[in-house]
Structure 1
Amino acid sequence: MTDRLVRKLRLGSGLIVFAFVIMHLANHSLGLISLGMAEHAQHWFMAVWRNPVGTVLLYGALILHILLVLRMLYKRRTLVMPAGEAFQIVTGLLVPLLLIDHIVATRIVHEVYGYHDTYKAVVRTLWVTSPFNGMRQSFVLLIVWLHGCIGVHFWLRYRPWYMAIAPVMLSLAIVLPILALLGFAAMGKTVAHEVAQEDERGYPGGYYSDVRSFGETGSAPGGKMAEDLWPYRAGFYGAFSLSIAVLFAFRAHRRLRERQYQVAIRYAGGEVVHAPRGFSVLEASRLGGIPHYSVCGGKGQCSTCRVQIIEGAENLPPPEPLEQKTLNRIGATPDVRLACQLRPTGNVSVVPLLTPMAEATIPVYTQAASPGREREIVVFFCDLRHFTSLTESRLPFDIVFLLNRYFAIVGRIIEENGGRMDKFIGDGAMALFGLRATPKEANRQALKAAAAIIREIDKLSAELADDLAAPLEIAIGIHTGLAVVGSMGYGTVKNVTAIGDTVNVASRLESVAKEFNAALVFSEPVAQLSEADIAGTESREIAVRGRGEPLRVYIVSKEASAHFA
């Protein structure tokens, strides 16, 4: 079974369980309307998951997911890992442990004794009879939901469209469990009020205190039932504990066996790590405490952990399909391999190609460690023309005041139109559009922002006319295309930016605007994607350094820019 297939199975099984959790929480939230509404919806919920197909699908997915996580833990040669990975694994292992009682008290009792685990019966137990168990189940709910959300985020985080829907998904991730808990509380108050009015005595003992449910089904009394269920609980807890014990027993056995077959991995700084054969180079680095980038967490989905092979190439297995795909994507030479996928069979000398230095402590999966990837974006450059001559005789404070007014206009309009300010350089600024929008929408946003900035700079120039030797004039260049977008910088001075040919061309178009004494110059791809009306707009073909063919651009005067607002 290949690692790629295993990941797909783990993802698929996890999504099935997550779908069950979403429906379950949505059912809970209906308790905010009424207890009767929640129980009515529960019939449809049960129809989906308590038929033979639903049962096999749900519990098969749950068991498969757990087994694949245990397999993954066994295959890891070291348990040293980033905090994000550790948190996901720990919460994943807590889920089945914390759910055992709930599964036994609902599904097992239903199957064995015919117990009707209605909302009224279960909520009565968790809210009235045993509130501690109610708090425990609320904690389980949050752990299960958090683990599922982390898994979905890790699955989708590199999809180009994910950033556009991420705010909606985050809102859902926050609101749904809150509504579920509020629905549970509302049903609890309703049931507590009914119990107080009925003034009848129930059988204590956890989930089995609803006498009427048991009487209707002819089940045994609650106390006897609770005793009869202990073998089920003991079996589930025992099976889970045994699986964990077997996992670590196998790991210990493998470690003892592999001590006889170790390989030496030498690094450029002279460090040597002796690791058991079968360890990846990345695992060896972690074992030896050597800083080594791996933004994707060692899953072969990025190339930040790549190393160059100096010696021992004959001791390396050929790349697996997943590794080869990534190496092909970056155009790697034959002596470059991914450290997370490379498992030497003999001694080898390597040089990590991306040296993390002291900032390797930045957690993975954070914005500060966001890996670069190609995105279809719009790059926006603007600059004040003749700014040096405007400030030659002005005081430093006056220059700062003018720049801050100018930057405030640019920054506000860029953000209002869906763009992201990238950086300010002197009297120039760079912005990105399309990080959370479609290419068509992003190009329209950029043109609209350009028209608004030209208009507002004209107003600022009129406002400061008495203090300026000449009117303020702005030059804007816009181009769209593929660019590498990622977090770049050092230490705390690190932010998401873009590099590549698209950025260079946009910068060149801003210079072209100055050359033609125009307010705005945008490229033909921008015109095509935005579907802007360019009838009557002056166009020219210009040479751009590094490009073999000329680029057609559209030149817009200050007066004509309002057409694109």
Structure 2
Amino acid sequence: MTAFATNTISSERSLRRIRLISGLIMLAFVMLHLANHSLNLISLKAAEEGRHWFLAIWRNPVGTILFYGAAVTHVALVMRSIYLRRTLVMPLREASQIILGLLIPALLIEHVVSTRIRYEIVGLHDTYEFVIRSLWVESSGNALRQSLALLVVWAHGCIGVHFWLRYRDWYSRAAPFFLTLAILLPVLGLLGFAYTGRILASEPVQSSYGSGYSPIGSHGGGIVSPAAAQQLMVIKFMLYGLFVASLLSVLTLRLIRSWRERFDQIEIRYPEGQTVRVPRGFSVLEASRIGGIPHYAVCGGKGRCSTCRVQIIEGGDTLLNPEATEQATLNRINADPDVRLACQLRPLNNISIVPLLVPTLESNLPANSQQVNPGREQEIVILFCDIRNFTTLTEAQLPYDVVFLLNRYFAIIGQAVEQAGGRLDKFIGDGAMALFGLQGRPEDACRQALKACAIIIREIDRLSDELSTGLAIPLRVAIGVHSGPAIVGAMGYSNVKSLTAIGDTVNVASRLETIAKELNVTLVVSEPTIEKAGSDTSQLESREITVRGRAEPLRIYVVTQQMSASFL
């Protein structure tokens, strides 16, 4: 049974990959098509020249098989996925992707028949003048439909690419460039289409092929004979019929399956007393959605995250073993044997479960929450800074003076971190925590953190001199800096939710700041941070320390107040 399950999940993974590849092939076609349209902003001749290159890629036997094979494969796999879905209750983002995908064939069949298929049957060369004159001059309705089709295809492809890449470490840095391309390319393409359309509307027909894009069923259409026009009309209705029949067949099969499963249901019980009855074979996540029970699933139910995980209270002995995708995720989080992923768990008998992540209604989630900043592990640099001897400094101060001092101190920390390229995470009493490397290379993040340290130390000295008459002792800080992997994501509750980091790296950085206080020095930096920053350590004192929770000692470098100017 386990071997069979493994083979099944491998097959599903392969089909998912094929669906992605076929979608990328079609997106490449659309990108080149829009780029070719944009050449109309230069001239119709430039667009026609670009079209020769476009046709050389896609109208040869290899390009034809690649593109139309990808289109048929992608549509077939989409139909399959719709059938396999146990419920059509889903988040809006998933529904919008499916709806846009189903609109594409309905919007493009007319265009495909009037261009490529007509070319194959009649030998009619669909030049830019022919197509744009037919769409823009002879039938404005077709122009609007074709523009809408381009936007739908492009939006569907861009959404798919976003969901494919959104958890890649480099995607946050590349996203602005992708967004620029996603906006500019269709805008330039449609402007080129409209620009040439307006020119052709004021000029007589120049093409030796005449016009006739839209009236496939008429006796017009330039050199298209009535017999050929009739053949094209039959092909068009066959394609529409095939698509509609496929969609109706999938929905009919779903209804038949639903009717049969109505007599073979199980119960899934939740901790608040809710009970959801679903057909045998539904996943726990699907049961939650059907029952209207909030349930996290950041990855969309693909088993790539553990946010939907549940603990099995009753019925665990009747469950099948986890499949490969689920087991890999469970191993990564060191899950107990009774913990499973709700999106992958399909019980065959009644069970009782407890979601391990407290569900929250989507409407209550603040902006920039888990959907925008899901937790992920990445290499970052953590800086902790604290005022030394803060109690001594403020014990004789008036409350207003203490607030004034802290606000000046917080401003120095915040400006230094932002100036160096980091992100101020939080203030804790008279301490502060900052993150570096949320975007960019770890080496650059280490250098940014040390630059921030230099600015903080310099500005704190200036503030100390400025307030020297009112301070019992000079104002000094203790700073700890460490780099390594940490979990970064939006954390908190309700409106008190922000991007932050947790993990061993954060704990070590906090410990280094405490050691700086204990050693009465300004800065303590871990060896990994110094090495990645490429700093000269020949004049620095180094030590090995033991950090609670770490098996191996950590080498650190100590920077005193006097040495900070030369080192930093």
In the superposition, the TM-score normalised over structure 2's length comes to 0.91
Counterparts of 2:337 and 2:542, CA distance in 1: 46
Deviation at 1:204, TM superposition (A): 6.4
Deviation at 1:195, TM superposition (A): 4.1
Tell me the SS of whatever aligns to 1:304. Answer: coil
Counterparts of 2:276 and 2:72, CA distance in 1: 37
> Which amino acid is 1:11 matched to?
L
Match of 2:23 among 6, 10, 14: 14
> Which amino acid is 2:161 matched to?
V
Tell me the SS of whatever aligns to 1:319. Answer: coil
What residue in structure 2 maps to residue 376 of structure 1?
379
Deviation at 1:227, TM superposition (A): 5.3
> Which amino acid is 1:178 matched to?
V
Tell me the SS of whatever aligns to 1:81. Answer: coil
What residue in structure 2 maps to residue 440 of structure 1?
443
What residue in structure 2 maps to residue 65 of structure 1?
74
The reply on whether 1:220 has 2:248 as its aligned counterpart is no
> Which amino acid is 1:535 matched to?
S
> Which amino acid is 2:146 matched to?
Q
The reply on whether 1:496 has 2:504 as its aligned counterpart is no
Tell me the SS of whatever aligns to 2:521. Answer: coil
Deviation at 1:360, TM superposition (A): 7.5
Deviation at 1:193, TM superposition (A): 4.5
Residues 417-432 of structure 1 mapped to structure 2, 5 A cutoff: 417-432=420-435
Q: Deviations over 1:236-278 (max 9, x none)?
A: 2211111111111001000111112111112222222111011
Aligned length: 558
Match of 2:311 among 308, 313, 329: 308
> Which amino acid is 2:164 matched to?
W
The reply on whether 1:453 has 2:456 as its aligned counterpart is yes
The reply on whether 1:250 has 2:253 as its aligned counterpart is yes
Distance 1:203 1:125, change over 3 A: closer
What residue in structure 2 maps to residue 125 of structure 1?
134
What residue in structure 2 maps to residue 412 of structure 1?
415
What residue in structure 1 maps to residue 172 of structure 2?
163
What residue in structure 2 maps to residue 206 of structure 1?
214
What residue in structure 1 maps to residue 50 of structure 2?
41
Counterparts of 1:35 and 1:158, CA distance in 2: 42
Residues 36-435 of structure 1 mapped to structure 2, 5 A cutoff: 36-195=45-204, 206=214, 219-220=223-224, 228-358=231-361, 362=365, 367=370, 370-435=373-438
Q: Larger deviation: 69-78 or 371-380? A: 371-380
Q: Deviations over 1:63-122 (max 9, x none)?
A: 111111111111111111111111111112122222222212221122122222222222
Distance 1:287 1:305, change over 3 A: same
Does the 8 Å contact 1:362/1:368 carry over to 2? no
Counterparts of 2:567 and 2:92, CA distance in 1: 48
Counterparts of 2:560 and 2:215, CA distance in 1: 76
Distance 1:366 1:152, change over 3 A: farther
Deviation at 1:43, TM superposition (A): 0.9
Does the 8 Å contact 1:82/1:364 carry over to 2? no
Does the 8 Å contact 1:478/1:506 carry over to 2? yes
> Which amino acid is 1:45 matched to?
F
Distance 1:405 1:110, change over 3 A: farther
Does the 8 Å contact 1:363/1:369 carry over to 2? no
Counterparts of 2:416 and 2:125, CA distance in 1: 60
The reply on whether 1:541 has 2:544 as its aligned counterpart is yes
Does the 8 Å contact 1:303/1:326 carry over to 2? yes
Q: Larger deviation: 292-301 or 465-474? A: 465-474
Deviation at 1:170, TM superposition (A): 2.1
The reply on whether 1:23 has 2:32 as its aligned counterpart is yes
Distance 1:315 1:129, change over 3 A: same
Does the 8 Å contact 2:266/2:279 carry over to 1? yes
Deviation at 1:503, TM superposition (A): 0.2
Counterparts of 1:532 and 1:24, CA distance in 2: 50
Distance 1:167 1:460, change over 3 A: farther
Distance 1:37 1:459, change over 3 A: farther
Does the 8 Å contact 1:297/1:364 carry over to 2? no
Distance 1:398 1:345, change over 3 A: same
Amino-acid identity (%): 59
Distance 1:183 1:205, change over 3 A: closer
Does the 8 Å contact 1:125/1:207 carry over to 2? no
> Which amino acid is 2:126 matched to?
D
> Which amino acid is 1:334 matched to?
P
Q: Deviations over 1:459-508 (max 9, x none)?
A: 33344445544433222211011111122111122122111110000011
Counterparts of 2:27 and 2:456, CA distance in 1: 46
In the superposition, the TM-score normalised over structure 1's length comes to 0.92
Does the 8 Å contact 1:295/1:370 carry over to 2? no
Deviation at 1:358, TM superposition (A): 4.6
Does the 8 Å contact 2:265/2:277 carry over to 1? yes
Tell me the SS of whatever aligns to 1:432. Answer: strand
Q: Deviations over 1:354-385 (max 9, x none)?
A: 12145675499965563322211111111222
Task: Give the root-mean-square deviation of aligned CA atoms.
Answer: 2.8
Deviation at 1:320, TM superposition (A): 1.2
Tell me the SS of whatever aligns to 1:206. Answer: coil
Deviation at 1:164, TM superposition (A): 2.5
Distance 1:46 1:364, change over 3 A: farther
Does the 8 Å contact 1:82/1:363 carry over to 2? no
Does the 8 Å contact 2:130/2:211 carry over to 1? no
Counterparts of 1:403 and 1:363, CA distance in 2: 29
Tell me the SS of whatever aligns to 2:293. Answer: coil
Q: Deviations over 1:287-319 (max 9, x none)?
A: 112221111111101111111112212321221
Match of 2:558 among 551, 555, 560: 555
Does the 8 Å contact 2:326/2:341 carry over to 1? yes
Does the 8 Å contact 2:131/2:213 carry over to 1? no
Counterparts of 1:347 and 1:440, CA distance in 2: 53
Q: Deviations over 1:40-77 (max 9, x none)?
A: 11111111111111111111111111111111111111
Counterparts of 2:267 and 2:549, CA distance in 1: 45
